[in-house]
Amino acid sequence: MKCLLCAKNLQKEITFTNLLCFKKEEELVCESCISSFESIGGNHCPSCFKKGLSTICQDCQFWCKKGVNVDHRALYSYNQAMKEYFSRYKFDGDYLLRKIFSEILQKELKKYKNYQIVIVPLSDQRLKSRGFNQVEGLMKETGLTYLDILVKKEVEASSSKNRSDRLLTEFPFLLKDGVKPPKNILLFDDIYTTGTTLNRLKSMLLEAGCQNIKTFSLAR
């Protein structure tokens, strides 16, 4: 089998841990490629996991002034390797790449036992042009239960906006008709940039009757 990222042949390594656990893993990515993704260590914004900080970042200070309590966690920094990954997965439509982070996402999301996972949707137009929702693809591959209770109107893609525009943009999300959201929600998205999408969704869902909302993304 070849690495999904670099296409090099994969050599199956049988580890002592795998033997003890009778674990049969399907290798998808070579060691070189997987090591190019940068896990967020202990040095990060305590509210949103922005890497390289020990105090609350400017983005979180902005949301604090808006009355939003940021409670976010992310697994990886948005470095060059992650940028290239999302370019291929989201924009080039390489749907197989949804599989790469399924194991670690499943492991980490299982920790939110009292929360129901809600995915961030695409607009109908974006879904039609892309062919899939990259967030739902990541979530489906974990095998975990999730809710699809939000809809998104078509607006200019956030990837084409600068930092200030993202913070001030018109909010395009709504609850689906007739849906009563659960009390405890974990909002899941692929990338956290300024926090506009997740934190404004959080405010909307709190107004709709939710009591506790945390947010989670693959990258920050």
Over residues 33-91, the pLDDT tens digits come to 999 999 999 999 999 999 999 999 999 999 999 999 999 999 999 999 999 999 999 99
CA distance 125 to 127: 5
Please determine, for residue 142, whether its predicted confidence score (pLDDT) is greater than 90: yes
* Alpha helices, DSSP H, located in the chain: 16-20, 31-34, 58-65, 80-86, 102-109, 124-130, 134-142, 163-168, 196-207
Cβ atoms of 68 and 47 within 8 Å: the answer is no
DSSP helix/strand/coil, 43: coil
Answer whether residue 13 shows pLDDT above 90. Answer: no
Cα separations (Å) of 103 from 113, 143, 212? 17, 10, 26
pLDDT tops 80 at residue 17: no
One of 1.10.3470, 3.40.50, 2.60.40, 1.10.10 is the CATH number of 38-219, namely 3.40.50
In this structure, of 4-13, 105-114, 194-203, the range with the lowest mean pLDDT score is 4-13
Average pLDDT over residues 164-174: 71
Q: Using a pLDDT cut of 70, give the percent of the chain over it.
A: 87
Q: What pLDDT shows up at residue 200?
A: 94
CA 29 – CA 9 distance, rounded (Å):
10
Identify the pLDDT of residue 23: 43
Average pLDDT, the chain: 90
Q: Check residue 171 and give its pLDDT.
A: 82
How does DSSP classify residue 29?
Answer: S
The reported pTM is: 0.87
Residue 154 has a pLDDT of 77
Given a cut of 50, whether residue 204 has pLDDT beyond it is yes
Domain boundaries, the chain: 1-18+26-37, 38-219
* Least confident piece of the model among 14-18, 33-37, 133-137, 155-159: 14-18
